[in-house]
Amino acid sequence: MKINHIHDFNLHHEDAFLALQMELKSQIQLTKTISNNSLQNCAGVDLAYWEEDGESVGVCSMVVLDVNSKNIIEKVHSVGKINVPYVPGFLAFRELPLIIEAAKKLTVDPDVFLFDGNGYLHYHHMGVATHASFFLNKPTIGIAKTYLRIKQTDFEMPDDEVGAYTDIVIDGEVYGRALRTRQGVKPVFLSSGNFIDLESSYQIAMNLINQESRLPIPVRLADLETHALRKYYQENKKLAE
């Protein structure tokens, strides 16, 4: 898969992180409508971390799914040392190098990427799903398992019905949705990443839910894959692919 080179990652202070986020924020497009009927495949993306010899190591898994059959088309991953420090609000800078390396290995060109994380629902509207979109040049969606509280704003719990949601509105702007994907299970937090509107993001996410998880199938599969890969690399103590 072809990747756009948007910026380097030799940044190590908050001012540089913020300047890049503000520059990219002005280029976010959340107006594109995408129907389920137009999708052929989609990719789930997740990352996992561990410590090895005093250094942080991560693995990124991407699982591409046929939207109609729900069969796996392709699985790729990347693994390596984490060179960007963790700074709250700037997690994407830490995760993107592995995301980019994994995406380069794809032979399938996904129609949309679903991330285990936030998109527009972020302090600066630049969660990992949004930030990654500029490199991938594809529509992206964020599906977070926990709520990122912004400007002291809490979300309203949706009704306990499949598909029920409440919009997360901060300073009069809709950042995302608290979404009930399964009855009797905690909601997830949906937001557009980029190049897609919120309603399309909602419809796509709901079309990819089954009875096994509150997460869309490709995100759940990527999550399972990262845990298996982390265990493998921890046991083998090597980073070679």
* Binding-site residues for Mg(2+): 46, 116
Where do the H-state alpha helices sit in the chain?
14-25, 91-104, 128-136, 198-207, 217-236
**Structure tokens that stand for 170 in this block:** 């901060």
Rg (alpha carbons) of the chain, rounded to whole number = 17
In one-letter notation, the amino acid at residue 195 is F
- Binding site, residues? 46, 116
> CB count, 10 Å around CB of 27?
11
Rounded distance, CA 89 to CA 45, Å?
19
Rounded to 5 degrees, what angle do the CA atoms 107, 57, 45 make? 35
